[in-house]
């Protein structure tokens, strides 16, 4: 499921930016170059607005910035990593090393929430996190994500409360 919204064009082996804002801008540029966005500036604003509500750095070195916008042509997921780590104002105050950014059109709600839940599930697996951190190339990173999709097929349903995922399998 996750791999169906990705490609190697949406994988950044090592982020250049050193700040949260810089990382967000760098990754939005990747979405734009991949043809995911109709208007880069508007999507960047949506991501920053979402991030200002509450950090998407969930702890343990992980951030899942996400946004919905009429300027997204098709839902897509971007994977990026920072070996050095970036201060994302994480809940546990630790630097972020793994980032999954999600771009979704406004009319995609169920898939959007399922995707956030799937990424959270993937990242609960410490072995998969380690593989993603240690992978040497984009193809290897993409294969790790495809293998997760095969090994752990979508099950159950996603429940939400006030527009937030509260349970996902």
List CB contacts of 158: < 8 A, sequence separation 6 or more: 110, 113, 114, 117, 165, 167, 168
Residues 34, 83: Cα–Cα separation, whole Å: 24
Annotation marks residue 66 as catalytic: yes
Q: What is the DSSP string of 16-71?
A: ---BHHHHHHHHHHHHHHTT-BS-HHHHHHHHHHHHHHS--EEETTEE--EEE-TT
What is the separation of C-alpha 147 from the centre of its chain, rounded to a whole number of angstroms?
Answer: 17
Q: What is the DSSP string of 66-100?
A: EEE-TTBSS-EEEEEEEEEEEB---TTSPPEEEEE
One of 66, 97, 125, 167 is an active-site residue; which one? 66
Annotated active-site positions, please? 66
């Amino acid at each position: 499921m996750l791999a169906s919204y990705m490609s190697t064009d949406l994988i950044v082996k090592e982020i250049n930016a050193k700040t949260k804002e810089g990382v967000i801008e760098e990754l939005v540029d990747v979405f734009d170059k991949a043809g995911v966005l109709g208007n880069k500036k508007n999507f960047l604003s949506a991501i920053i607005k979402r991030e200002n509500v509450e950090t998407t750095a969930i702890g343990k070195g992980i951030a899942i910035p996400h946004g919905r916008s009429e300027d997204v042509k098709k839902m897509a997921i971007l994977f990026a990593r920072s070996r050095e780590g970036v201060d994302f104002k994480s809940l546990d105050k630790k630097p972020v090393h793994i980032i999954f950014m999600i771009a979704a059109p406004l009319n995609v709600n169920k898939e959007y929430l399922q995707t956030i839940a799937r990424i959270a599930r993937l990242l609960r697996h410490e072995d998969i996190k380690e593989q993603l951190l240690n992978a040497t190339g984009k193809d290897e990173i993409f294969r790790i994500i495809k293998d997760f999709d095969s090994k752990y097929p979508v099950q159950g349903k996603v429940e939400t409360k006030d527009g937030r995922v509260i349970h996902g399998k």
